[in-house]
Amino acid sequence: MALTQPIGMSEPDQPAGDDARITPAMAQYIEIKAANPDCLLFYRMGDFYEMFFEDAEVASRALGIALTKRGKYMGRDVPLAGVPVVRADEYLHKLIALGHRVAVCEQLEDPAEAKKRGSKSVVRRDVVRLVTAGTLTEDTLLDARRNNYLLAIARARASDAEARFALAWIDISTGEFRITECDRASLSAEIARLEPGEVIVSDALYSDADLVPLWRSLPTLMPLTRDVFDGATAERRLTSFFSVATSEAFGALTRLEITAAAACITYVERTQIGARPPLSPPQREAASATMAIDQATRANLELMRTLSGERRGSLLEAIDRTVTAAGSRLLAQRLSAPLTDPAAIARRLDAVAFFADAAIRAETRSRLAAAPDLARALSRLAVGRGGPRDLAAIRDGLLAAADLTRALGALRNIPEEIAAALKSCTAPDGMLAAELSGALAAELPVYKRDGGFVRESYDAALDDTRALRDESRRVVAALQARYADDTGIRGLKIRHNNVLGYFVEVTAQHGDKLMGAPHSATFIHRQTLAGQVRFTSTELGELEAKIASAADRALGLELEIFERLTASVVAQGGEIKQCAEALAVLDVSSSLATLTAERDFVRPQVDGSVDFVIDGGRHPVVEQALARDGTPFVANACDLSPPKGEEAGRIWLVTGPNMAGKSTFLRQNALIAILAQMGSFVPARSARLGIVDRLFSRVGAADDLARGRSTFMVEMVETAAILNQAGARSLVILDEIGRGTATFDGLSIAWATVEHLHDVNKCRALFATHFHELTVLAARLSRLHNATVRVKEWQGDVVFLHEVVPGSADRSYGIQVAKLAGLPASVIERARLVLAKLEADDRAKPKGFEDLPLFAVAPTLPPKQKDDAVAAAIAALNPDEMSPREAMDALYALKAKLAGKRQ
C-alpha cells in the first residue's frame, strides 16, 4: 500500500490553538527530533523526506538542495529542505560520506487511517532506522569490493603503560563479526588493518588525552554513553542477541572482549531498530595470527591504495583478478592481514596450486561469475530492506554453488581448503533454490511494491486475481466501444490518470452532446479543459473500484509470497552465509592462480626460520606498469638469511644514485613477504621466507610529501617507533632515513640507526641510503651486507641498469641525474666545477668545506644584466606621450638592443 500523499494535503497545517502556534504535525516533528538529537532527521511526508530548522540548513549546504520556508514556529519562519524518497539513497550517500548520521522517520500508517481519527489527527510516524557510516546495507551506499566495518573499542582499566584494548567489528552487510584484543602499541595498526567505516567508543575513551591524536585520524568516530560499554551488562546483551545461555558458546572470550562485542551489538540494535541483521556469532582472532603492519607502512607500501588515495596503482589492484564482489572483499581482507602460521599459509597456497590447471580454472571462474553477492542480499532481506532481485541473487548464488560442487567435487586430490569450501557450498537446503526458481518471474522489479515479480501459475489465487484485474481492463475497452456506439462519437475514449482515475473523454465540440438528454442520464461531468471535456459514469466508477481492488489484492498476495520466501531464505541464513564464504574462497584461490599464470609467479616456501631468500624477485605493481609500455622489469635477488653460524638475519645496505631503483627493490621484497604470507604465489623465480611477524616500512621525509606531513620530526618519530618495536622476526624497510636534515646530522642518524638495527633489534632489514659513507660499517657489523644498484656512465650521461649487485656505489651521479632532469647546462657545468673542488679537498674534513661558497654560488652567466638593460629601457618609455612614429622607433630600438646583446 502506498503511503503517498502530496505534501501538506493530508495533514492539518494550521496551529492547534492560537496561543500554541504549533501545528500538530510540527509538535510530532519536534518530539521525534528531540529523541534523535545527533542525527539529521529525514521526516517522511508523502513522496519526500523533509528536513526542518537547522537540519534543513545543514542538508541544503551539504547536498546543494534548495532551502525554502514552511509555516512559522515561535513567530519565526521554519527553514525547510526536502529530498524525494525515490532518490533518497543518493543523498544519504553524500551525507554519510560527509560524516553525518541520518534518522529515517517513516509514516507508519496510511494518511487515510489518520483522517478517520478526526481531521486534526496526524499520520503516525516514527524513526525506523538510523543510517550511519558503519551500519549500511544498501548496494548503492556500499563499495561492493570492500567490507564496511563498525568497530567498537573498549579499554580495560589498568595503568596506561599496560592498558589492554578489545576490538569488536561487524560488517552488517555480510554478517561478519569478529573480536580481538591488543595492547596500546598495536592499537593503531589493528585499526589500520580494518579500515572501519565507523568507530564507537565510550565517552571516557573518547576524551582520553593519550588517544585523541589517534581518534583524530579516524574518519567517523562516535562517542557513546557508558551503558553501551558497561561490562556488567555486556554478557547478558551479547547472549540475548544470539539466544544462547552463556558467551562460552563463542569460545573463551575475555571480559573486555565481551564488553566490546556487546557494545557493537547494542549499537546495531539501536541503529536498526527492530530489524535483525544475520550476524554470525563472534569469532575470536588472536592478534599474533596476523602480520602486524602499521598505518604508515600500509600507506607507504601502497597496499590497498596509492599515496594519493586511489585503488589504481595499489598492490590490491595489481593482484585482483576476482570475478565476484565477495571474492574481491575476501582478497582485500587477506591482503590486509597476512598470516603468521606456516601451516595455515600452506593450506591457502595448496588451494591456489589446485587451480593451476587452466581448464579447471576456466570452468570455476565462469560459474563464479554467475554468482551474485549472496551475503549482502541475505542481509538486506533479513533487515527488511530486500527486494525481488535479492531473492533472485540468493537463487542464482545457490545454483552457482551447486553447479561448482558438481563440477569440482568429482576431481581427485582436492586440497583441504577447497574441499571445505565445496562442502559449505552444499550447506543450504537444495529445495530453497528450487522454490525461488519456481516463484520468481523472469523480469524482476527493483522494489517489491512494484509487484509483478511472482511467476505466472505459481500461485492459483494470485493467478485468479490477476485474471480478474486483466479481465476488468478488457471490460473497460468494451465499455469504451459501447459508449462510442451509443453516443455516435467515434473519438470517445476512456482514459486514466492519477487525479481522476478512469474517465470518459471527448473533444470540446462533443461535450454539449453528452451533457444534454438523453446522454446526461449516463454521463456525469467532471472536468472541462481547453480541448476536451471529461465525464464519468456509474458503471465506469464500479468498474474502476473492481480493477483497483483486484490490483491491490494481487499486490497483497505477491507481498505475502515475498514475505514467505524471505522467511525461508532467512531461516537458512547461517547456511547461506557459509555458502557465500565458500564461493569467495573459491574465487580468491582461482583468481590468484589466474594471476600466477598470467604474470609468471611462483609458489613461495614459508617456514618458521628467519631466512629470507628471494631469487629473481620483481615488484608486482611496477612490473605491470612498465609492461604496459613494453619496458622489461629487471629481476633482482635478495638474501637476508643469517650468515653461517649466526642466528639473526642480515641487513642489506643499498646504495646507488637517485632513480637507480633502490626504493623499488626495497618495496618489492616487502611486498613479496606480504603476498607469500597472505597465501599468494609471488613474483620471483623462487622464494624461501621465514615468517615475518611484523613489517615496518619508512621513507625519508622528502619522499613523503604526498602525505602532506613531510617534516623531519615525523620521520624521526616513525624511526623511533621502529627501533623501539622491531624484534627478531620483524622485517624493516628504511628508505633514505636521515635525508630530511643537513648532511652531517642526517648521516650521523642513519649511521646510528643501522648500528641499532644490527646490534639491538637483530632483525632482517633493507636500508637504502645515498650516504656512501655508511658502507664502511660493513667492515665492523658482521651481518651488514653492502649492495648497490648498478649504473653505467656513457658519454657523460648515466644509464640505469636497475641491477642490484654486491658492493657499494662509487659515487652518487647526482649531477648526471640532474642533467637528465633538464637542469640548465650552465648550472650543470657549475656543479661539476664545485664537485671537482670538493673532491680535490679532503671530504672527511669539514675544513675543506669552509672556503667554498656553497650557499653563495657566483652566477656563471650574466643574462640577468642583459635583460635588465632592456627592462630599464622599457621602464624609461612613456607610452602616453609617444607619437605612433616614436613608439614604432622605440620598438625597433628595443629589438636591436636585445639582439645585440644576445650574440
Which stretches of the chain bind Mg ion, using CB under 5 A?
Answer: 663
Binding pattern for the stretch 597-636 against ligand ADP, x by CB under 6 A and - elsewhere: -------------------------x---x------xx-x
Q: How far is the CB of 633 from ligand ADP (least distance, A)?
A: 4
Q: How far is the CB of 294 from ligand ADP (least distance, A)?
A: 22
Q: Residue 271 or 636: which CB sits closer to ligand ADP? A: 636
Q: Residue 308 or 860: which CB sits closer to Mg ion? A: 308
Q: Which does 334 bind (CB under 5 to 8 A by kind): Mg ion, ligand ADP, none?
A: none
Q: Which does 389 bind (CB under 5 to 8 A by kind): ligand ADP, Mg ion, none?
A: none
Q: Which does 802 bind (CB under 5 to 8 A by kind): Mg ion, ligand ADP, none?
A: ligand ADP
Q: How far is the CB of 706 from ligand ADP (least distance, A)?
A: 13
CA-wise closest residue to 733 among 786, 805, 654: 654
CA-wise closest residue to 692 among 714, 669, 713: 669
Q: Residue 395 or 739: which CB sits closer to ligand ADP? A: 739
How far apart CA 688 and CA 385 sit, in angstroms, is: 49
Binds ligand ADP (CB under 6 A): choice among 147, 658, 697, 775: 658
Q: Residue 794 or 855: which CB sits closer to ligand ADP? A: 794
Q: Residue 46 or 657: which CB sits closer to ligand ADP? A: 657
The C-alpha cell that represents 720 in the structure block: 623511533
Q: Residue 16 or 626: which CB sits closer to ligand ADP? A: 626
CA-wise closest residue to 369 among 327, 333, 405: 327
Q: Residue 271 or 658: which CB sits closer to ligand ADP? A: 658
Block residue for cell numbers 643469517? 642
How far apart CA 583 and CA 589 sit, in angstroms, is: 10
Q: Residue 134 or 661: which CB sits closer to ligand ADP? A: 661
Q: Is 664 in the site for ligand ADP (CB under 6 A)?
A: yes
Q: Quickly count: other Cβ atoms within 10 Å of residue 412's Cβ.
A: 4
Q: How far is the CB of 662 from Mg ion (least distance, A)?
A: 5
Q: Which does 634 bind (CB under 5 to 8 A by kind): ligand ADP, Mg ion, none?
A: ligand ADP
Q: Quickly count: other Cβ atoms within 10 Å of residue 498's Cβ.
A: 5
Cβ(689)–Cβ(612) below 8 Å: yes
Q: Is 660 in the site for ligand ADP (CB under 6 A)?
A: yes
Block residue for cell numbers 547456511? 575
How far apart CA 903 and CA 738 sit, in angstroms, is: 46
> Interaction with ligand ADP in 783-822: which residues (CB under 6 A)?
802
How far apart CA 479 and CA 475 sit, in angstroms, is: 6
Q: How far is the CB of 370 from Mg ion (least distance, A)?
A: 45
Q: How far is the CB of 611 from ligand ADP (least distance, A)?
A: 23
Q: Is 769 in the site for ligand ADP (CB under 6 A)?
A: no
Binds ligand ADP (CB under 6 A): choice among 372, 620, 661, 740: 661
Chain center to CA of 874? 59
Q: Which does 29 bind (CB under 5 to 8 A by kind): Mg ion, ligand ADP, none?
A: none
Q: Is 663 in the site for ligand ADP (CB under 6 A)?
A: yes
Q: Which stretch binds ligand ADP (CB under 6 A): 13-21, 224-232, 660-668, 830-838?
A: 660-668
Q: E-strand spans in 349-492?
A: none
Report DSSP letters for 784-824, one per residue. EEEEEEEEEEETTEEEEEEEEEES--S---HHHHHHHTT--
Q: Is 684 in the site for ligand ADP (CB under 6 A)?
A: no
Closest residue to ligand ADP, based on beta-carbon distance = 661
Block residue for cell numbers 525506523? 128
SS3 66: coil
Q: Quickly count: other Cβ atoms within 10 Å of residue 236's Cβ.
A: 12
Q: Residue 220 or 663: which CB sits closer to Mg ion? A: 663
Contacts of 45 (CB under 8 A, 6+ apart): 7, 8, 11, 82, 107
Q: Is 651 in the site for ligand ADP (CB under 6 A)?
A: no
DSSP 8-state symbol, 859: P
CA-wise closest residue to 639 among 615, 666, 674, 656: 615
Chain center to CA of 235? 32
Q: E-strand spans in 139-220?
A: 150-155, 164-171, 176-183, 198-202
Q: Which stretch binds ligand ADP (CB under 6 A): 62-70, 74-82, 161-169, 662-670?
A: 662-670
Q: Which does 659 bind (CB under 5 to 8 A by kind): Mg ion, ligand ADP, none?
A: ligand ADP
Cβ(422)–Cβ(404) below 8 Å: yes
Q: Which stretch binds ligand ADP (CB under 6 A): 209-217, 431-439, 651-659, 776-784?
A: 651-659
How far apart CA 200 and CA 178 sit, in angstroms, is: 15
Q: Which stretch binds ligand ADP (CB under 6 A): 158-166, 322-330, 541-549, 654-662?
A: 654-662
Q: How far is the CB of 631 from ligand ADP (least distance, A)?
A: 7
How far apart CA 181 and CA 155 sit, in angstroms, is: 10
Query: Which whole-number Å values give the CA distances from 523 to 29, 519, 520, in the listed order?
Result: 45, 6, 5
How far apart CA 784 and CA 653 sit, in angstroms, is: 7
Q: Residue 44 or 802: which CB sits closer to ligand ADP? A: 802
SS3 174: coil
Q: How far is the CB of 619 from ligand ADP (least distance, A)?
A: 7
Residues in the chain: 903
The C-alpha cell that represents 214 in the structure block: 589517534
Binds ligand ADP (CB under 6 A): choice among 193, 510, 603, 662: 662
Q: How far is the CB of 658 from Mg ion (least distance, A)?
A: 7
How far apart CA 331 and CA 666 sit, in angstroms, is: 24
Q: Which amino acid is at 557?
A: L
Q: Which does 221 bind (CB under 5 to 8 A by kind): ligand ADP, Mg ion, none?
A: none
Q: Is 659 in the site for ligand ADP (CB under 6 A)?
A: yes
Q: Residues touching ligand ADP: how many (CB under 6 A)? A: 14
Phi/psi for 260 (5° steps) reads: -65, -40
The alpha-carbon radius of gyration of the chain (Å, integer) is 37
Q: How far is the CB of 607 from Mg ion (least distance, A)?
A: 31
Q: Residue 268 or 817: which CB sits closer to ligand ADP? A: 817
Q: Which does 652 bind (CB under 5 to 8 A by kind): Mg ion, ligand ADP, none?
A: none
Q: Which does 397 bind (CB under 5 to 8 A by kind): Mg ion, ligand ADP, none?
A: none
Q: Residue 125 or 739: which CB sits closer to Mg ion? A: 739
Q: How far is the CB of 605 from ligand ADP (least distance, A)?
A: 23
Phi/psi for 855 (5° steps) reads: -100, 10
Which residues is 652 bridged to in the sheet? 766, 785
Binding site for ligand ADP (CB under 6 A): 622, 626, 633-634, 636, 656, 658-664, 802
